[in-house]
Chains A and B, each alone.
Chain A
Amino acid sequence: MEKLAFLEVEHLTKVYEDGTKALEDVSFKVERGEFVVIIGLSGSGKSTLLRCINRLVEPTSGKIYLDGVEVTALAPDELRRLRRQIGMIFQQFNLVKRASVLTNVLSGRLGYVPSIWSLVNYWPREEVQRAFLNLERVGIADKAYTRADQLSGGQQQRVGIARALMQEPKLILADEPVSALDPATSHSVLKYIEDLNREGITVLCSLHFLSLARRYGRRIIALKAGRIVFDGHPEEIDDRRFREIYGEEAVEVEIR
């Protein structure tokens, strides 16, 4: 039997209850430590693909293996244990707005701590220390006790990254992490994600702008109407390929 890659997606198909075909026969492999950028038009299935990998969305058919484990075959308990190893970063940050930054970051650790203590928001010392370390990494340790909704968008996304880091993840799924941010902030957030990748965390990141994808991705997977239409190096995307992915009328814009 041949050795499995770190992440393998095989013939993945997702049809939503209303009949929308969001993914159709998607297959690809990702090796440990890769930084893969997923691009595609709005509605092409990027979010659906990323959510299938940690089964926030149940795949309709197909198989997903992560580090030798068949994700698609896991029972609820095993699935929760697997999810601990997959950090997720969202376009809208998805912080609990009324809670403090610290509580938001600590919530990334929920999969590891005993349920009873966490239900009264009691956290062991070492977990609080870990939270502060991760907040320092993204440069906002001084905001630990601020309410999450009082931070700027860029700061909120950095809280999102710190929360994912609490999981000590092997894989990070980032779903358009910078689409709600201005260009300068986008770069600073993507640089944090790039740093994590350098430390060995595999990253799957969907991006809206090709210019950002070119700058950060070492491999690009392009989706169109739920199918993979390109999988390769950023330099391979020429004018013809670009129009294939984004449609005839699209013009590439630069984000610096």
Chain B
Amino acid sequence: MRNQTVTPKAIPHIHPGRRSLIRSWQFLMLLLAILLIYGYGWRVTQINMGELFTKAHLIRPLLSSLVRPDLLTRDQEVQVARAPFLTGEGELPTLPPSTEGTSLNLSRTRGRIGDRLVVRGQGFRPNTEGVLWWENQIGQRLPMRRFKTDEQGRFTLEIAVPQTPGVEHVVIAEVSWPVGPLKPSETLKIVTERMIETVFLALMGTTIAVVVAVPLSFLGARNLMARNPVGFTIYLITRTVFNIARSIEPLIMATVFAVWVGIGPFAGVLALGVHSIAALGKLYSEQIESIDPGPIEAVMATGATPLQVVRYAVIPQIVPQFIAFTIYRWDINVRMSTVIGFVGGGGIGFILMQYINLLQWRQAATAVWAITLVVALMDYASAVIREKVI
């Protein structure tokens, strides 16, 4: 059978067999390069799927806290009783008075580390839970036992003297129970406060960006500026600044501003603002560049002044898109403002990081839920606004 190629002239010199040989050789090289790249990538990023399972216990406290975030609390009524203990020579110290009616007795008041002693408490609220603490000379408290008082408000515990520095120690019994109605927890108050700060951080950053980016975007629009060398230079500079500023992540900017103006929301506002000026400025400029010159020509032809031309032929063509871009940027900034605190930019991220560092999982869970809720709400709100405006 004859080989009937349709376009034999396109490859006049290379024999078909040679060509496929080169092809397969190139293909092998490509395959090898890809293998190398991903092999190296697997190693440097220390991918180890097994850890997801072997270290599952580390994430469990956070996950289980997610179902019971720290939201509500009740006032606590507390009864405290104290008793001194010495692990050396000296006088027994006098202690602040115990809650009225309660008392704590130790089977011995002197001893050494590891000695056993019996602790008896009485006069407490009956059938109530409490904690027995060991406080050393420098005020550090070790939890010894949890207990529950009996019907007469008494309890008896046997403990060993713990290994802790100092000579003068205090054994403390604390019995507490909730009273009064449920109310927002301290965490909830802090998280709410910080969440409000976060939303306003996004608002101020975005607003500053819009106010600055709108006028700048005209300088960055080629169709308006590139009419003479001076204009073209301004256009080039504006666009270059936009591109450079846009490529620096807000998180990195926040780190810089946190050094400059100190840790706090202002650093975050500056970081979001500067990044958004560049990002919005570029989008706005491109929108101005894409407007139809026809209406401008038509309005000019009626004898309108330049201001009227802008009002009747330019603005109607750019405003809806400007609003769309701004809402889009607002969405991004709300998300960004929730994490910018990680690098000192203020807002909820700052305390979320603190909670995690202190292993306060329920508090962290509260913050995580707040972020989720607010971001979802803001997304919904901007979707509604977008619908209305565009």
B295 contacts chain A at the CB level, 8 A cutoff: yes
One of A81, A93, A160 near B303 (C-beta < 8 A): A81
A80 vs B308: C-alpha distance when bound (angstroms): 12
Q: Contacts A115-B308, A118-B311, A119-B308 given: A94-B302 contact, CB under 8 Å? A: no
A96 touches B297 (CB 8 A): no
One of A92, A95, A99, A109 near B302 (C-beta < 8 A): A109
Q: Contacts A107-B312, A110-B312, A119-B311 given: A94-B304 contact, CB under 8 Å? A: no
Overall SS of chain B's interface: helix
B294 touches A111 (CB 8 A): no
One of B297, B298, B305, B311 near A80 (C-beta < 8 A): B305
A163 contacts chain B at the CB level, 8 A cutoff: yes
A81-114 interface with B by 8 A CB criterion: 81-84, 86-88, 90, 92-99, 103, 107-112
Proximity string of chain B (334-354) to chain A, C-beta cutoff 8 Å, 1 when within and 0 when not: 000000000000000000000
B301 contacts chain A at the CB level, 8 A cutoff: yes
B299 contacts chain A at the CB level, 8 A cutoff: yes
B282-312 interface with A by 8 A CB criterion: 292, 294-295, 297-305, 307-308, 311-312
Size of B's binding interface in residues, CB under 8 A: 20
Proximity string of chain A (72-86) to chain B, C-beta cutoff 8 Å, 1 when within and 0 when not: 000000001111101
- A90: chain B residues at CB < 8 Å are 294, 297-298
- B300: chain A residues at CB < 8 Å are 56, 83
B102 contacts chain A at the CB level, 8 A cutoff: no
- A44: chain B residues at CB < 8 Å are none
B155-174 interface with A by 8 A CB criterion: none
A82 touches B311 (CB 8 A): no
A160 vs B305: C-alpha distance when bound (angstroms): 19
Chain B: which residue is nearest A160 at the CB level?
B298
Q: Contacts A99-B316, A107-B312 given: A82-B303 contact, CB under 8 Å? A: yes
A92 vs B311: C-alpha distance when bound (angstroms): 21
One of A81, A88, A98, A118 near B301 (C-beta < 8 A): A88
CB distance from A50 to the nearest CB of B (A): 10
B320 contacts chain A at the CB level, 8 A cutoff: yes
A69 vs B294: C-alpha distance when bound (angstroms): 27
Chain B: which residue is nearest A110 at the CB level?
B304
B103 contacts chain A at the CB level, 8 A cutoff: no
CB distance from B229 to the nearest CB of A (A): 13
B302 touches A83 (CB 8 A): yes
B301 touches A96 (CB 8 A): no
Q: Contacts A92-B294, A95-B295, A96-B295 given: A86-B301 contact, CB under 8 Å? A: yes
B176 contacts chain A at the CB level, 8 A cutoff: no
Chain B: which residue is nearest A81 at the CB level?
B303
A54 contacts chain B at the CB level, 8 A cutoff: yes
One of B299, B304, B307, B316 near A98 (C-beta < 8 A): B316
A191-244 interface with B by 8 A CB criterion: none
B312 touches A96 (CB 8 A): yes
- B295: chain A residues at CB < 8 Å are 94-97
B86 contacts chain A at the CB level, 8 A cutoff: no
A134 contacts chain B at the CB level, 8 A cutoff: no
A48 contacts chain B at the CB level, 8 A cutoff: no
A107 vs B298: C-alpha distance when bound (angstroms): 9
B313 touches A96 (CB 8 A): yes
One of A56, A96, A163 near B316 (C-beta < 8 A): A96
Most buried by B among A107, A118, A167: A107
Q: Contacts A110-B304, A111-B303, A119-B307 given: A88-B298 contact, CB under 8 Å? A: yes
A119 vs B305: C-alpha distance when bound (angstroms): 10
B317 contacts chain A at the CB level, 8 A cutoff: yes
One of A81, A94, A109, A119 near B294 (C-beta < 8 A): A94
B305 touches A163 (CB 8 A): no
Proximity string of chain A (22-44) to chain B, C-beta cutoff 8 Å, 1 when within and 0 when not: 00000000000000000000000
- B303: chain A residues at CB < 8 Å are 80-84, 110-112, 167
B308 touches A56 (CB 8 A): no
- A81: chain B residues at CB < 8 Å are 303
B317 touches A94 (CB 8 A): no
CB distance from A155 to the nearest CB of B (A): 16
A158 vs B304: C-alpha distance when bound (angstroms): 21
Q: Contacts A92-B294, A98-B317 given: A111-B307 contact, CB under 8 Å? A: no
Chain A: which residue is nearest B312 at the CB level?
A107
A151-197 interface with B by 8 A CB criterion: 160, 163, 166-167
Chain A: which residue is nearest B293 at the CB level?
A94
Most buried by A among B294, B295, B305: B295
- B313: chain A residues at CB < 8 Å are 96, 107
- A86: chain B residues at CB < 8 Å are 301
A167 touches B308 (CB 8 A): no
B312 touches A94 (CB 8 A): no
Q: Contacts A92-B294, A119-B307 given: A56-B317 contact, CB under 8 Å? A: no
A86 vs B317: C-alpha distance when bound (angstroms): 25
A181 vs B294: C-alpha distance when bound (angstroms): 17
- A84: chain B residues at CB < 8 Å are 302-303
A79 vs B305: C-alpha distance when bound (angstroms): 11
CB distance from B308 to the nearest CB of A (A): 5
A1 vs B214: C-alpha distance when bound (angstroms): 55
A-B contact pairs, 16 of them (CB 8 A): A54-B301, A84-B302, A86-B301, A94-B298, A96-B312, A107-B299, A110-B299, A110-B308, A110-B312, A112-B303, A115-B308, A118-B308, A118-B311, A118-B312, A119-B307, A167-B302
Interface residues of B (CB under 8 A from A): 292, 294-295, 297-305, 307-308, 311-313, 316-317, 320
The 10 closest A-B pairs by CB, nearest first: A111-B303, A94-B294, A84-B303, A83-B303, A94-B298, A110-B304, A88-B301, A80-B303, A96-B295, A110-B308
Interface residues of A (CB under 8 A from B): 54, 56, 80-84, 86-88, 90, 92-99, 103, 107-112, 115, 118-119, 121, 160, 163, 166-167
